[in-house]
Amino acid sequence: MMIKLRKFRCLLHHARHLHSKYVPVPLSMQQYLEFGQKKCEKKSFQFLNDEIPIRLAHIMREFEDLPKELLTMKSVKLVRSWYDLSFKEVQSFAEKDPDDTKVLAEFSVAIQNILNRHSYVVETMAQGVIEMEDTYGMDDKISERIQYFLDRFYMNRISIRMLLTQHAALFGNITNHPRRIGHIDPNCDVIECVSNAFKAARQICEHYHMQAPELDVITADGSKLSNFVYVPGHIEHILFEVFKNAMRAVVEYHRDKLELPKLQIIVAKGKQDLTIKLSDQGGGVPYQDQDKLFQYMYSTAPRPQYTGQESPLAGYGYGLPLSRLYARYFQGDLVVSSMEGYGTDVYLYLKVNSSEANECLPIYNTTTSRMYEAEKVVSDWSSSTNWNQSIRTYSTTARKQPIGAENRIQEVQ
């Protein structure tokens, strides 16, 4: 039994290293939309069979460069076992016939299994970092490397879930919004996204604080918000997090007042960017602390009790860092500007042109590996300070071939 287990691990290790030699292929929002409109399950099956193992392999290789103290944590071992199992599960379809409807049905089931298995990756990985910090402590050097890894790890997770949930929405037994192509809305109603996120955040704020500030929404003059292609779920996820922070700040800063100052949203659409600005009067953040807002594990809320199940991310310090990754995933960004003693402005930038909204995918190569060995992690695409992408450690150039077309992907140098 032990011999078989060792053989399996050896084969898995070899397959993982083989797939990590190829560059993951970013898709643009336009390509997602066009493929969803044509809706060919066979081509989706073929593309995912090539692409998912590569994206998994890149981040699985990167795990190997993490501090040994972190890798020995129970929660981190659990996360790695989920990735090993999912890699094996997708690989089992490599030689199967895409013209067989039974194979396609089995593949859809496998995708749903993977999505379910990875539902609590964020919380479990966060718990692993907590376990390490509680056991060994954490100096600045290790903290920087973990920050660097988590940005890349969660961006990789966002990209894989986008592929899998899009396939499930198009070809599974899921009832979609009549206007949407899978999870993509070709005429995304930004104001509706704002409203949905505000209502969800207000419900939580009222539950914990018994009150919540109201909201004014302004559309900039000349901004035509129609024909905007995006994933509404991503916008709502980001805005939900920034609304929660803003509401909590306002309620706590004005706790002795009968009437709370309103939040304000301004939406503007230009030729390149659609920008959503959220302003609050919640007292702001000191300038020297503003960089900390995007650091994992930094939070002013109490740390939540880990149960192994879904729980609010408030207290983990993951809300803003993850929201920024969702914004950057399709070449946007999330920027915070604060005035201590008054309030905070948060700017969400999204690409207007769907052909320019390309996935941003971390890639593992020798440059990436050196980042974990350097005395100080240098600024690149996942830096906490500058969104300055390094061509050596990311991939954003969208493929020109249609999804499902036979081609061999460029090898990593």
Predicted confidence at residue 173, as pLDDT, reads 77
Predicted confidence at residue 174, as pLDDT, reads 73
Phi, then psi, of 82 in degrees rounded to 5: -65, -40
The answer, as to whether pTM is greater than 0.85, is: yes
- What is the rounded distance in angstroms from the CA atom of residue 78 to the CA atom of residue 318? 20
3-state secondary structure of 260: coil
Query: Looking at the predicted structure, is the pLDDT value of residue 385 above 70?
Result: no
Predicted confidence at residue 70, as pLDDT, reads 96
pLDDT tens for each residue of 168-197: 999 987 777 788 999 999 999 999 999 999
| DSSP 3-state percent helix, strand, coil across the chain (nearest 5) | 50, 10, 40
Q: Where are the beta strands (DSSP E) in 99-251?
A: 215-219
Find the Cα–Cα–Cα–Cα dihedral 127, 197, 327, 32, rounded to 10°. 110
DSSP annotation string for 30-73: HHHHHHHHH--HHHHHHHHHHHHHHHHHHHHHHHTTS-HHHHTS
Query: What is the distance in angstroms between the CA of the first residue and the CA of the last residue of the chain?
Result: 38
Give the catalytic positions in this structure: 237, 241, 244-245
Predicted confidence at residue 313, as pLDDT, reads 37
DSSP annotation string for 219-250: EPTT----S--B-HHHHHHHHHHHHHHHHHHH
pLDDT tens for each residue of 213-247: 999 999 998 778 888 999 999 999 999 999 999 99
Query: Looking at the predicted structure, is the pLDDT value of residue 387 above 60?
Result: no
Predicted confidence at residue 384, as pLDDT, reads 41
Q: Are 343 and 376 in contact (CB under 8 A)?
A: no
pLDDT confidence band for 311 (50 / 70 / 90): very low
Query: Looking at the predicted structure, is the pLDDT value of residue 149 above 80?
Result: yes
- What is the rounded distance in angstroms from the CA atom of residue 304 to the CA atom of residue 316? 7
- What is the rounded distance in angstroms from the CA atom of residue 246 to the CA atom of residue 280? 6
Which residues are bridge partners to 333 per DSSP?
349
pLDDT tens for each residue of 329-350: 999 999 999 999 999 999 999 9
Query: Looking at the predicted structure, is the pLDDT value of residue 286 above 90?
Result: yes
pLDDT tens for each residue of 348-362: 999 999 999 999 999
Looking at the chain, the whole-number percentage of residues with pLDDT higher than 90 is 70
Reported as type and span, the H/E element at residue 409 is none
Q: How does strand 263-269 pair with strand 394-395?
A: unpaired
Predicted confidence at residue 406, as pLDDT, reads 46
Query: Looking at the predicted structure, is the pLDDT value of residue 382 above 60?
Result: no
Predicted confidence at residue 299, as pLDDT, reads 65
pLDDT confidence band for 60 (50 / 70 / 90): very high
Q: Are 43 and 70 in contact (CB under 8 A)?
A: no
Predicted confidence at residue 227, as pLDDT, reads 86
CB atoms within 10 A of CB 134: 10
What's the Cα-to-Cα distance from 256 to each of 102, 187, 253, 259, 343, rounded to whole Å? 64, 43, 8, 9, 17
